[in-house]
Every structure is written in structure tokens, then in C-alpha cells.
């Protein structure tokens, strides 16, 4: 079975940036995800939701990208929150203890709304 290539797209909901990751986030594709997060933070966009509904796999390098993005967003006065984790990605996040570091939501709308509550 050939999995879909890693893809990144972004959109906005009010002043929250939503990054959609899909495919496999591994050592080869992680730089693309890292660039997407870093470019937002560098431009002063620090309310970030990563929608992982299309993410079928995440490796340790993908986890490092998320952790670095969280740190950068928080240092800039914002936050990075996760939404729509697929079961296999949720399992990896839980196994690594990242579920205690990240704020995780079932739905994108909940994650976006959490910045305003």
C-alpha cells in the first residue's frame, strides 16, 4: 500500500491559523511541516491549530517539529494546539507523553474556539 505524500496547507479562522497536515510526517517530510509553523511564528502569527485529520503517520522527527513549534509559539506569546488526531497518531502522541504537553481537541472548531474562551 502506497500512502499519500505529505502535504501542508493553511487557512485562517478569525485570527487563528490552521495548518492541515496530511499523509506521512517522517524524517523526509518534517522540514516542510517545520517551515509552515516557523513562517507563521516569524510573521507574528502565534495562535496556531494543527489539524491532523489527514495525518496517517508521525515519526519522532514529526513529533520534534510539533514540539519545536509549540515552544516557538509560546515564546512569542501564543500557543500551538492539536486537533482531529487519527487513532494511530493519537497513540504515538500518548505513548510519548506528548498528550500531557499539548492541548488536544477532537474537532478543529473546538481548538479554534479555545483561543477565545
Report domain extents, the chain.
7-108
Q: Given this model, what pLDDT does residue 51 score?
A: 98
Per-residue confidence at 4, pLDDT binned at 50, 70, 90?
Answer: confident
Q: Given this model, what pLDDT does residue 17 score?
A: 98
Grid cell locating 50: 494543527
Q: Given this model, what pLDDT does residue 42 score?
A: 96
Q: Given this model, what pLDDT does residue 3 score?
A: 62
> pLDDT tens digits, residue range 16-57?
999 999 999 999 999 999 999 999 999 999 999 999 999 999
Q: What is the mean pLDDT of residues 47-75?
A: 97
Report the topology of domain 7-108: Transcription Regulator spoIIAA (3.30.750)
> In what helix (H) or strand (E) does residue 96 lie, and over which residues does it extend?
none
Q: Is the pLDDT of residue 1 over 60?
A: no
Question: Model's pTM, two decimal places?
Answer: 0.95
Q: What are the CA-CA distances from residue 31 to residues 6, 13, 52, 78, 81 (Å)?
A: 11, 25, 16, 22, 19
Amino acid at each position: 500500500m502506497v500512502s499519500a505524500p505529505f502535504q501542508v496547507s493553511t487557512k485562517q479562522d478569525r485570527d487563528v491559523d490552521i495548518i492541515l497536515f496530511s499523509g506521512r510526517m517522517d524524517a523526509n517530510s518534517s522540514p516542510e511541516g517545520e517551515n509552515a509553523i516557523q513562517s507563521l511564528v516569524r510573521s507574528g502569527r502565534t495562535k496556531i491549530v494543527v489539524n491532523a485529520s489527514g495525518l496517517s503517520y508521525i515519526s519522532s522527527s514529526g513529533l520534534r517539529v510539533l514540539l519545536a513549534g509549540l515552544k516557538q509559539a509560546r515564546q512569542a506569546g501564543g500557543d500551538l494546539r492539536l486537533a482531529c488526531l487519527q487513532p494511530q497518531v493519537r497513540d504515538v502522541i500518548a505513548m510519548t507523553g506528548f498528550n500531557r504537553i499539548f492541548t488536544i481537541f477532537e474537532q478543529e472548531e473546538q481548538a479554534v474556539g479555545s483561543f477565545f474562551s
